[in-house]
Structure 1
Amino acid sequence: MAELTRVLRRPRTRAVVLVAALIACAMLSLAVGTSPACACSCAPRTAEQIADRAGAIIVGTPVSVTEDATGSRSVVRVQRSYKRRLPDTITVVSASPAGACGITLTKGRTRTIVLGWPGGGVTTGDGEWGASLCDNLNSDASSVIAHAGPVFSPVATGPTRTSGESGTGGGNRGHIGIAVAAGAGILLAGGTALMVKRRPG
């Protein structure tokens, strides 16, 4: 046993053992047909800590959800917000829920969403907000809201055009108004000309 211990302490022997272990692990992984799992790891935080770190907290309803290989982008209709006033419609970006600490939002399902970090490997664009599993892991949303301060009503951003609307209605009304004004101007000019022509001298 002592002789085996002395052999394992040699640098060359340790390198050979390490390579053999790596090859065995890879072969076992191939045989089982699995790849190494990537799990999301979130440090435990209290509701007060989550609320304090959040960029904002909203209660809203996703009206559309678009997913790709990196994550998702959801258009959310905001009912109310905490920590700051937000537009009535925002885009929430999140990483993939499979290991990248993203969250899954369901179209039409109203929920509380803590906004902040979007998750691993995903960035937010102008006017977009992130949301991660770590910030939304607390099952008691009411306790998070209780530490978030006063509630804000959303800022109205005007009617949202739905798909299929051409947006030409306003333009047509504008053209009609211009035509009416031009016609009135022509009639007024013609009437003035007739009155001047009829004056004696």
Structure 2
Amino acid sequence: MVALVAGLVACAALSAAVGTSPACACSCAPSSPEQIADRAGAIIVGTPVSVKHDGLGSRNVVRVVRSYKRRMPETITIVSASPAGACGITLTEGKTQTIVLGWPGGGVTTKGDEWGASLCDNMSSNAAAVIAHAGPAFSPIKSTKPQGDPGSSGSSRGYVGIGVAAGAGLLLAGGTALILKRRPG
């Protein structure tokens, strides 16, 4: 009994000395091409033009050749978790491939204009079968803002200008109404 307790204490001490970190294990349930296509937010055929890795995963700027399930912009950002065990995918710059968009995996979150992609939805060896169940192909939407400028505020400046003009018009109309109301006669 004393040897068992001593062994447990030694294991605990060794674990504390070596250090522990959270472990992730990717576990994907088998899915048919139909199931993958049905749950996808969109499916694209595209070419990564830049890949940036950080501690949690990667952000990939991808030039869209064609899309399925919905029409996509000609350039999108795809976020994925680390491929090590958090169900992330690895995209290679310059290599055109089919990418199923949806859950990014591994606790990674996407911003409003980003898409996620996980290993579970992208490990099908039969991309043609997934595409066959996704419906018609769409050409990409031409972008009107400069590439690499996701926060372009040109359109928001237009809305501010309209708001200022509308406000000035209301003030002018209100002032005119007050002047006309105060006039005798």
Q: TM-score, normalised by structure 2?
A: 0.69
**Once the two structures are superposed, what CA deviation does each residue of 1:121-178 show, in whole Å capped at 9, x if it has no partner?**
1000011000000010101110110111111111100474579xxxxxxxxxxxxxxx
CA pair 68-152 structure 1, distance change in 2 beyond 3 A: same
CA distance in 1, matches of 2:87, 2:120: 7
Distance 2:20 2:130 in 1: 38
Equivalent in the alignment of 1:74: 60
SS at match of 1:45: coil
Q: Within 1, Cα distance between the matches of 2:148 and 2:51? A: 14
Distance 1:159 1:28 in 2: 53
1:74 CA drift (Å):
0.6
- Give the residue type in structure 2 aligned to 1:24: C
The equivalent position to 1:102 in structure 2, one of 74, 88, 91, is 88
Which residue is 1:179 aligned to?
none
Larger radius of gyration: 1
**Structure 2 match to 1:116:** 102
**Would you say 1:24 and 2:11 are equivalent positions?**
yes
Q: Percent identity?
A: 67
| Distance 1:96-1:21 versus aligned 2 partners, 3 A rule | same
Instruction: Kindly state the Cα deviation for residue 22 of structure 1 after the two structures are TM-superposed.
Output: 7.5
Deviating beyond 2 angstroms after TM superposition, the runs of 4 or more aligned structure 1 residues are 16-31, 33-39, 158-163
Residue 39 of structure 1 and its aligned partner are, at CA, apart by 2.4
TM-score normalised over the length of structure 1: 0.64
- The gaps in structure 1 that reach 5 residues or longer are 1-12, 164-201
When the two structures are aligned, how many residues end up with a matched partner?
148
Q: CA RMSD in A?
A: 3.0
Cα distance 1:85–1:19, how it changes in 2: closer, same or farther (>3 A)? farther
**Equivalent AA in structure 2 for residue 58 of structure 1:** I
Cα deviation, residue 52, structure 1: 0.4
| 1:91 to 2:77 alignment | yes
Shift in CA distance, 29/157, structure 1 to aligned 2, threshold 3 Å:
same
Does the Cα contact within 8 Å between 1:76 and 1:92 map onto a contact in 2? yes
- Return the structure number with greater relative CO, CA threshold 8 A, min gap 6: 2
Gaps of 5+ in 2: 150-185
Evaluate the alpha carbon distance shift between residue 19 and residue 48 of structure 1 in structure 2; reply closer, same or farther with a 3 A threshold.
farther
Task: Quickly say closer, same or farther: Cα 1:22–1:54, change in 2 above 3 A.
Answer: farther
What's the offset of the Cα at 1:26?
Answer: 6.8
Equivalent residue for 2:129?
A: 143
1:38 positional shift: 3.4
Q: Which residue of 2 aligns with 1:57?
A: 43
Distance (whole Å) between structure 1 residues aligned to residue 127 and residue 33 of structure 2 = 8
Deviation at 1:118, TM superposition (A): 0.3
